[in-house]
Amino acid sequence: MGEEELAYMSAAEQGRLIRERKLSPVELVQLCLKRIERYNPVLRAYITVCGEAALAAARQAELEIDRGDYRGPLHGIPFGVKDQLCTAGIRTTLGSRIFADHVPDFDATVITRLKEAGAILIGKENLHEFGKGGTHVFAHGQPRNPWNTERTPSSSSSGSGIAPAAGFCSGSLGEDTGGSIRGPAAANGVVGLRPTFGRVSRHGGIMYAWTADTIGPLTRTVEDNALFLRAIAGHDAHDALTSQRAVPDFSFVAGTDLKGMRLAVVTEMTWPDGVHPEVREAMEQAIEVLRALGATVGEISLPWAKHAIPLAMLTSDADVASMYLPLLRGRWGDFDAGTRSRMATAALVPAAIYSRAMRARAVVRKQILGAFENYDALLCPTSLKPAGLIDDTRETVQSKEDMAQRIILRRISTHPFGLANVPTLAVPAGFTKDGLPLSLQVAGRPFAEATVYRIGHAYERATTWHTRHPVLEQTTRGVRPAVVTE
């Protein structure tokens, strides 16, 4: 088996080979570390690589499997996590100079659960500072898209999208407030899920947008995504906001048709002014595929969805700023300029405005949830534009046009579902003529992850987009390694 074939194999298939003892966890981890060493200096998916610890865990996993102590489909599978999730004895930087030497003494619950499933932590992944997006200069190196290194890998779970796309690991954990899992999934050509708020514990995640932040998986296939979610989901006594609901086993992924499913394309989130023509074409083709699979696909207008963007940004940014006020006062110059200006602005939001915005959020959410009375899922592109040039996508706003293109258009397809706190899946849905990934987004009722997985899996099986992978020897050749300022 060739290196590329193994590196880009689905986690489910890697797991089957490990279970059958046709693949060693040590061999798989060594391959991932080799690829990280070769390509990470350019792509900067990882801030910290846990090489020795990962190899030790792989050797332990191999011993356990050899003696019959097989833990399940993720046993021996390497994973990475966004570097805002605490890891015992391993630094957790939040992508910031301020936390460059921060070393927690415990693991986040999601990491504990993956380790209990036998998965192997291989490293901490790059992100926008504090996981909030808008970073201009990355403290730990500029992350780059593996399909085209001049292009953005999107934000803020940048490294968590790059890593599985580049074959650096078999799956990642990211964090999503308004699109920070789904955006990188779309830009890097992988599958990303924002779970229902409360489905996954946030204990050990340094995240302060309390009413919206979620942790979820990014993987190469829908089946892999379901395996990771199954491992990390469920009630946690350390997080009072986790749900008591039972976690499905997601065995539905064996299905390949959508007979009886009622789907609706959201007009305002799919066909606004400014949607890229190749995104429009890919979406039209995706609709036809879903219809051919037996689904009824209609169209629905959610006119208040556009208000989700200012409402979510105002309230979430204010939540975050409230936690970092002492640092803003004491270490102003150590913040990235983008993060600093965003937080400082949010810190000035009056309590009365914040309260009114929170009430308005409930109104917008009600309209979105009302759509599920008639439809099983809602559809739109994950991103209305392909991954842009890195310099062009920095969020510098100097005019109304900048606000429309850099802020509103980039978020209109993801923020409404984030504000509604519903499960939302990004699935590869094509490529531009220049070879950049495109993505379909599927949103379901609260706690209906099984539904969005069923739709995403059926669509994935009916297409071949998930079988295409970047050729890193070509995309990284001649590119100067990203500058690291730590």
- The residue-averaged pLDDT of 310-336 equals 93
Among 65-74, 206-215, 359-368, 453-462, which is the least confidently predicted range?
Answer: 206-215
**Contact by Cβ (8 Å): 41, 481:** yes
Contacts of 443 (CB under 8 A, 6+ apart): 377, 378, 379, 417, 420, 422, 423, 424, 425, 452
Residues 78-119 pLDDT 10s:
999 999 999 999 999 999 999 999 999 999 999 999 999 999
Tally Cβ neighbours within 10 Å of residue 148: 17
Is residue 452 within 8 Å of residue 443, measured between CB atoms?
yes
Tell me which of 3.90.1300.10, 3.40.50.360, 3.20.20.140, 2.60.40.420 is the CATH number of domain 3-310+348-475.
3.90.1300.10
Q: Which residues are catalytic?
A: 82, 156, 180
Q: Distance between the two ends of the chain, CA-based, in angstroms?
A: 39
Tokens of 205: 């995640």
Question: Residue 182 phi/psi, 5° resolution?
Answer: -70, -35
Q: What is the pLDDT of residue 480?
A: 84
Amino acid at 462: A
Per DSSP bridges, beta strands 262-266 and 191-194 are unpaired
Per-residue pLDDT of 349-378, as tens digits, reads 999 999 999 999 999 999 999 999 999 999
pLDDT at 164: 98
Domain ranges within the chain, ordered by starting residue: 3-310+348-475
Q: Are 172 and 125 in contact (CB under 8 A)?
A: yes
What's the pLDDT tens digit per position in 247-264?
A: 998 866 666 799 999 999
Cβ of 169: how many Cβ atoms within 10 Å?
33
For residue range 25-51, what is the model confidence (pLDDT) as tens digits?
Answer: 999 999 999 999 999 999 999 999 999
Q: In this predicted structure, what is the pLDDT of residue 402?
A: 57
Is the pTM higher than 0.85? The answer reads yes
* pLDDT 10s digits, 379-405: 999 999 999 999 887 766 666 665 555
